[in-house]
A and B are shown apart, each in its own frame.
Chain A
Amino acid sequence: MDLVAILGLNVVNGAASLFLLCLGLAIIFGMMRIINLAHGEFVMLGAYAAVIAANAGVNIFVAMLIVAPLFVGLVGIVVERCLIQFLYGRLVDSMLATWGLSLLIIGLVTTIFGNTMQGVPTPLGGFAIGAYRTSYYTLFLLAVAIAMLALVYGVLRYTRFGLIARAVMQNPEMAAVLGVNPARVYMATFALGAAVTGLAGGVLAPVSGITPVMGGAYVAKAFITVVGGGAAIISGTVSASGLFGFVNQLGAYFTTPVYGEVILFVSAIILIRLLPQGISGRFFKGTV
């Protein structure tokens, strides 16, 4: 019984971290068809922002939940204005440009802060379920994931900004005719995606190794999840990260971490073969 509970918690934790990592990418890729290969570096910038703020004496939760997304959101605005705005509709060019951007960010961070970084302690401590121990931080990650889910869903579904953003993504010319400035909406949406990614980096900082190249570990999984999820940002990302988190965590527990990764990638290939439009292309049509 304890084992079932702890495994359930592992699965939920795996899915929640995957969801947080993917949400920003899903917003940018799903709404603007920009393949942001610098996604992992946005995660890294979020982690660095949180760690540097916390080491400078800012409360750790403020650093993770406010400083990290604000900083990476600002970086997102700069990147969009200087680079991405010229690349809408040019899928291959956007991949090349953002890949270059990722190298630039890694180089800059390495030059400024060196190859390693003083981390922050994990807050909140641990608790026991029967014979097993785990950290309260696992539950905190889950809470943040649920809050982000609600927030992004609320913004896209119920606010005027969300309505305009979705309209621009569907048909920019028609939206422009109706008096919306698509360029500004793209900028805001890109910044939102970057900020959400920064938040993911911030909350993962206390449980990760912080290095300038840490983004590389996340980017492949994030892309697979977004593609597996399909066009709908929220329902697609939730269902895909739930599925892949489940498969990966249980695979790692019952076999080895090596096969956990293998099983994740094999199941992703099968999924995309069976559902080329992603999960939401088949099951959650017309949702956000």
Chain B
Amino acid sequence: MTISRRSFLKTTMTASAALAAPAISTRYAFGSEDPIKVGSLLDQSGAIASSGVTMVTAMQQGIAEINAAGGLLGRPLKLFQYDTQSNIQLYSQYAQQLALKDRVDVVHGGITSASREAIRPTFDRFRVLYFYNVLYEGGVCDRDTFCTGTTPAQTVEKLVPYAMKKSGKKAYILAADYNYGQITAKWMTKYMRDNGGEVLSVDFFPLDVTNFGPTISKIQAAKPDLILSALVGGNHVSFYRQWEAAGMKDQIPIASTTFGLVNEPSTVDAKVSEGIYGCYGYFEELETPESKDFVDKLKKRWPQIPYISELTAATYEGLYLWAEGVKKAGSIDRMKVIEALESGISFKGPSGEVKLDPDTHHTIRNAYLAQVHDRKWNVLETFKAVPPSDTASVCNLIKNPRDNQQYVIDIKA
């Protein structure tokens, strides 16, 4: 067979057209409907990974559900998740990448308060809508940012008087030595005093402290009725274990704003966690249909998933609140979405009804008070629709839309 120049050209052109056809046709199908880009910065490795990994599952689950229901505004969602490796420098780097290279339409992410404050200015500068879906110390007042987790007025305010009622009026505060711990310790001090109590001492711990021997002796010398803990991370779990080993567990009760957010009750011995009080926006043990459905869905898709805490539930709800805002705005234009979100958007999620507060860009949500029993959280009380009154007392973005700072509570010594 001889190949003429003409027949060679004919066959190769047909072949390349055939090969390129799928690309051209899909391009055509989505031509006017490119995916909406959702950025996400969560730690999947390093010290914070135990929190981040389950939060990523919530993002993936939420996006899959929204896409299965036809996407938003007829367009599918596409997730851009970067593993920030528990490294603040990578947060800054990936934040720039999401804003400038990927040009995402919204970012959900940040776990520690330190990471949030590292990336928030970047998203402000490049005008990218930002959702922070983690419980934190409160006070962020920024029209570009929505904080959907609980703040101290929603949890610590309930936890402190309850624990005081069960123990006594003298507390000893232990907290992690960075902005979350420092500010949360101030809120604990405020609520102790508001309820007629007294704070004997406030001790801060760098995140790599593992030996709590001197602290345990100091606590014994001070003789408090109650321990309030805002200790963070794997190294600080040593405190609870050394406390139990010294035989102090049955002598002085512990209430914590952080214990159990990862899966501490199931990793430490039952004796260590028994009786610890906590107050969060969500517990895996909640019996509502939405909660059970959420837990079932995640456990079915990721059978190895550890405890599903407020971090995971708030991430899922944060994504849906944003989606509700986009639906209402009928656009993904940042300002239109912000205005829609400020019109009183709400979503019924695993933790119950979650409503965005227009003034503060925080959420009005349920809070649950619980106690560990036999490695599980036993929910004792439910507080419906608690407002973020701490942030609301200093922040009003409707009146001062140009405000942009994190307010810090001032406690007189």
Residues of A close to B204: CB separation below 8 A: 256-258
Which chain B residue shows the least CB distance to A111? B45
Asked if B92 is an interface residue, CB under 8 A from chain A, the answer is no
B211 at the interface (CB under 8 A from A): yes
Contacts of A206 in B (CB 8 A): 241, 245
Give, as a whole number of angstroms, the nearest-CB distance from A152 to chain B: 23
User: What is the bound-complex CA distance between A118 and B298, given in angstroms?
Assistant: 21
A258, B234: Cβ atoms closer than 8 Å: no
Q: How large is the interface on B (under 10, 10 to 19, 20 to 34, 35 or more residues)?
A: 35 or more
A258–B205 CB distance below 8 A: yes
Give chain B nearest CB distance to A108 CB in angstroms: 12
- Known contacts A17-B211, A119-B269; decide if A253 and B218 are in contact (CB<8 Å): yes
Alpha-carbon distance between A260 and B211 when the two chains are bound, in angstroms: 11
Asked if B234 contacts A210 (CB within 8 A), the reply is yes
Q: Mark B27-40, 1 if CB is under 8 A from A, else 0.
A: 00000000000000
Contact A116 B50 (CB under 8 A): yes
Docked complex: B240-269 residues within 8 A CB-CB of A: 241-242, 244-248, 251, 262-263, 266-269
Q: Mark B176-220, 1 if CB is under 8 A from A, else 0.
A: 010000000000000000000000000111101111011111101
- Give the contacting residue for A6; candidates B177, B208, B217, B236; CB below 8 A: B217
Which residues from 174 to 220 on chain A have a C-beta closer than 8 Å to any C-beta of chain B? 204, 206-211, 213-214, 216-218, 220
* B267/A126 in contact, CB under 8 A: no
Q: Does A132 contact B (CB under 8 A)?
A: yes
User: Is A10 touching B220 in the complex (CB atoms < 8 A)?
Assistant: no
Q: Is B409 an interface residue (CB 8 A)?
A: no
Known: A117-B267, A119-B268, A213-B47. A257 touches B205 (CB 8 A): yes
The answer on a CB contact under 8 Å between B238 and A256 is no
B203 touches A257 (CB 8 A): yes
* A131-171 to B contact mask, C-beta < 8 Å, 1/0: 11111011000000000000000000000000000000000
The answer, yes or no, to whether B304 is at the interface (CB within 8 Å) is yes
Residue pair A13, B213 in contact (C-beta under 8 Å): yes
Q: Is A89 an interface residue (CB 8 A)?
A: no
Q: Which B residue's beta carbon lies closest to that of A122?
A: B245
A208: chain B residues at CB < 8 Å are 210, 235, 237-238, 241
Q: Is there an interface contact between A261 and B206, defined as CB atoms closer than 8 Å?
A: yes
A276 within 8 A of B: no
- For B306, list chain A residues within 8 Å (CB): 114-116
In whole angstroms, what is the CA distance A131 to B248 when docked?
Answer: 12
A267 within 8 A of B: no
Q: Are A127 and B206 in contact (CB under 8 A)?
A: no
> In this assembly, does B373 line the interface, its C-beta being within 8 Å of a C-beta of chain A?
no
| A288 interface residue per 8 A CB criterion | no
Q: A121 at the A/B interface (Cβ < 8 Å)?
A: yes
Separation of A128 and B248 alpha carbons in the complex (Å): 10
CA distance A14 to B209 in the complex (A): 12
**A217 contacts B210, C-beta separation under 8 Å:** yes
* A209 x B177 contact (CB < 8 A): no
B326-350 residues at the A interface, CB under 8 angstroms:
none
B237 closest partner in A (C-beta) = A209
Question: Of A107, A128, A218, which is within 8 A of B210 by CB?
Answer: A218
Please give me the residue from chain A that is nearest to B50 by CB atom: A115
Contact, CB under 8 Å: B235 / A135: no
Q: What's the least CB distance linking A214 to chain B, in Å?
A: 6
A118-B267, A124-B245 are known; give 17 further A-B pairs, CB within 8 A.
A107-B45, A110-B49, A116-B263, A116-B267, A118-B266, A122-B241, A122-B242, A122-B245, A126-B246, A133-B251, A204-B210, A209-B233, A209-B241, A213-B47, A213-B86, A249-B214, A260-B214
Nearest first, the 3 closest Cβ-Cβ pairs linking A and B are A126-B247, A209-B237, A211-B234
B→A interface (CB under 8 Å): 45-47, 49-50, 53, 86, 177, 203-206, 208-211, 213-218, 220-221, 233-238, 241-242, 244-248, 251, 262-263, 266-269, 271-272, 304, 306
A residues neighboring B (CB under 8 Å):
3, 6-7, 9-10, 13-14, 17, 107, 110, 114-122, 124-128, 131-135, 137-138, 204, 206-211, 213-214, 216-218, 220, 249-250, 252-253, 256-258, 260-261
What are 5 A-to-B residue pairs whose CB atoms are below 8 Å?
A119-B237, A125-B245, A207-B241, A209-B241, A213-B234
